[in-house]
Amino acid sequence: MKRIVYLILILIFITLVLKSCLKKDLGYDNDVYLDNFRPLEIVNYNFEKPKNVTINNIDYLQSRGEIGKFGGEIITSTIGEGPKTFNPFNANDNTSAQLANIMYDGLFTTDPYDGSIIPKLAKSIEILPDKKTYIIHIRHGIKWSDGREITADDVVFTYGTIIFGGFGDTATRDSLYIDGKLPSVEKIDDYTIKFVTPKPFAPFLRMLTTPIAPKHTFKTATDKGKNYFRSYLSTNAKPKDFVTSGAFKMVEYVPAQRVIYERNPNYYMIDKKGQKLPYLDKYIILIVGDLNNDTLKFEGLETDIVNLQGSMVARYRELEKHSDFKLYNLGPTTSTTFIVFNMNTRKNKEGKYYVNPIKQKWFSDSNFRSALDWAIDRENLVLNVLSGVGEPLYTAESISSIFLNKEIAKGHNQDINYAKELLKKSGFYLKNNKLYDKHNNRVEFELLTNAGNTQREATGVSIKEDLQKLGMKVNFKPIEFNALVSKLSNTYDWDVILIALTGNPLEPHSGHNVWTSDGALHLFNQRSDEDLKSSDKILPFEKELDKIFNQASLELDFNKRKTLYNKYQQIVAEENPVIYLYSPVNIIAIRKKFKNIYPTELGGALHNIEEVYID
C-alpha cells in the first residue's frame, strides 16, 4: 500500500509541475522556432535550439547532444503482429506509422523538450503579416538515401499530389480543410515553397511535420492510381528499393520477427565536430507479440529498452540498484484508453445492417451510454490494472494536454445505483438479475480488444465484471490487432471496442478526424459518403462538434481556443459516445551503456536516435 501511495504522489507531483510550466500564449512571428509558443516543459536539459550549419554549400542541421562515438546497434521492440505497411501515407495504425516514420522526415518537427516548432528538412520559414502565407526555405544540398537531392519539387508533390489528392490515409488532408477549402502550395524555386491557407489557421505549422516523399520514386505509384498506391511500399516490398530521408534506412524485414535499419550515410544532421550522424550503425526493432514477451526480451538481454507496466515498476526500482539499466519517468502518457460504441446505421451491399439494429438502438441511447460510464470503476482499473501507476481519465484530451478541461477531468466515482436509474429512464428493466430493454430483448453484446496487450485484456475483464452489476452480459473477446483494425475501418461488424489513440497534448485539432462527423476515425458513427450528404444523418451533438472544431481551428487566440475545446470535452463527457478510462504513467528502462539519452514526455526515449551512441 505504501508503494502505491508513493507512486501516486510521484504522479501528482509530475502532473503539477507539468501544468505549472505551460505557457498559454499562442501567436505567430517570423522566427522558425516560434519562441512565444513554448507550452510544455517537463524537464530542463538546458539545450539551445538546433543550429543550421553550412559546409561546402550544404545546409546541415547541427545536433544538440554531446559528441559521441560511431558504431554499434540498439535493439528495441514493438508489441503486436507487426506493421501493415511501410508507406507513411498509408499507415493508420501506430506500429506502421512508427516504423515508416523512422525513414522519412518532415519539414518541421515538434521540439521534444518544450513543444515548440523546430526545423528538419526546412531551414527557415517566413510567416507573412496576413497570417495566411508561409514561405519555407529548405536546405541546400541535402540528399535522399539514393543520392538524389531533396528539393521543393518533393515538397510540392507530397502536399499537392499525395496529401491534397487524397492518396493513402486521408487524415492529414481532412485536417487541412479550412471552410471546405485546402491550402495552396507553390514552388518558388528549387529551395523555396509557398503555402497559402484560405484563412488564418492555428494548427497549420503542426501540419507541416508530415513526412516528405521522394517525388522520383513515389510518382510512379501515384501515376498508377489510388488503388495501386494502397499497396505501394507494402510489407512485401523489398527494403533495398526504399528511398528515404531519415537517419536510418531499412535493410531487412522478417514478418512477425524483426525490422533492421542501417545508418543513412546521406543524412543531413551533423554533430558539433561536423561529423555526419547517426552514430549507431544499426537500429533493430523486434516484433514481440505481447507485453509479457516484451519484458522477457529485455530481461534476457535481447533488447535495450522496455516500457514498463505498472505492475513491474516496484520490482524494477529494486533491480535498478544493481543493474545495467536506468529508469526514467516521463509522466502521464499522451495516449487515451477508452471504449467506443458502434452507433453506425449503415448497410452492406446485401442490404443488411453492419450492426444488429437492436444493439444499435442501445448504443445510440445516451442514457445507456451514460449508465456504462457511471458503472465502470476507473479507480479500480488504476489500482489493479496499472498497479497505481496512472490516473483515471474522464476527458477526450489527455491529462498532459494544455487544453485539458480541468472540471471534466475531475470525473466521478462509480455509482451503480445511479447507472440503474439512467437505464430505467430508457425503459430497461431487471428480471432475475438480467437486464432487458423495453422490447424484452436481453442486453448482451461483444467487447473486443487487441490480444497480447495484457493491460487491455485485464481492463476488459474488469469492465465485464462491472457491467454484470447492471445485469448486462458482456462477451469479452481479445483478437489479433490487425483483425481489430480491419473491423474498425473496413467491415464495421463490431459492438463495443476497447482501444487507445495517441493524442497531441499541444494541438486538439489532431483529433479532428475522430470528432468531426465526416472524419475517417469517427469511430462511433461512421457513415458512407452518401450518408454524409444528408444532414439528418448527423446527430445534434455531432453537428455541435463539427462547429466547434471548425471555429477553434480558425481562432489564433489561445484563451478563446481553450474555451471552445473545453466545450467539446464537455459535450463528449455528457454524450459518452466514447468512454475514457485511464492514463498510465510512462516509465521506461534503458541500458546505461547508451549515451545522449534525454527522454521526454513529448519525444519518448529515442526522439534523438541520431545522437545516441554507445560508450
- Nearest one of 361, 582, 563 to 462, comparing CA atoms: 582
- Single-letter code of the amino acid located at 474: V
Residues 219 and 348 occupy one common structural domain = no
- Predicted local distance difference test score (pLDDT) of residue 243: 97
Whether residue 533 is found in the same domain as residue 397? yes
CA–CA distance, 366 with 133 (Å, rounded to integer): 44
Residue 294 lies in a domain: no
Q: Which of 205, 229, 253 is the last residue in one of the domains?
A: 229
In a domain, 307, yes or no: no
What is the per-residue pLDDT across 536-582, written as a single tens digit (0 to 9) for each? 678 999 999 999 999 999 999 999 999 999 999 999 999 999 999 99
Domain count, the chain: 2
CATH number at residue 142: 3.90.76.10
Give a yes or no: residue 287 inside a domain: no
Same domain, 348 and 215: no
Residues 214 and 359 occupy one common structural domain: no
Q: Which of 209, 229, 249 is the last residue of a domain?
A: 229
611 alpha carbon, distance to own chain's centre: 24
Q: Mark residue 526 as left, alpha or beta (left: phi above 0; alpha: psi -120 to 50; beta: remaining).
A: beta
Give the per-residue pLDDT at 196.
Answer: 98
Residue 267, pLDDT > 80, answer yes
- Residue 614 inside a domain? The answer is no
Mean pLDDT over residues 512-541, rounded?
Answer: 78
Q: How many CA atoms lie within 13 A of 584 on its CB side?
A: 22
Does any domain span residue 83? no
pLDDT score, position 528: 61
| DSSP state for residue 212 in the 8-state scheme | P
Residue 23 has pLDDT above 70, yes or no: no
| Cβ–Cβ < 8 Å for 520, 513 | yes
Burial class (CB in 10 A: 0-12, 13-18, 19+), 242: buried
Per-residue CA distances from 325 to 70, 148, 329, 406, 608 (Å) = 21, 41, 13, 36, 19
Instruction: Of 266, 261, 264, give the one whose Cα is nearest residue 251.
Output: 261
Digit-coded pLDDT (tens) for 219-256: 999 999 999 999 999 999 999 999 999 999 999 999 99
**pLDDT at residue 39 tops 70:** no
In a domain, 125, yes or no: yes
Domain end marker among 197, 229, 261: 229
CATH value at residue 458: 3.10.105.10
Q: Is 90 exceeded by the pLDDT of residue 360?
A: yes
Contact 395, 408 (CB under 8 A): yes
**Within a domain: residue 70?**
no
Could you tell me the residue range of the domain that residue 507 belongs to?
A: 341-585
Residue 374 covered by a domain: yes
As a whole number of angstroms, the distance between CA 519 and CA 523 comes to 9
Average pLDDT, the chain: 89
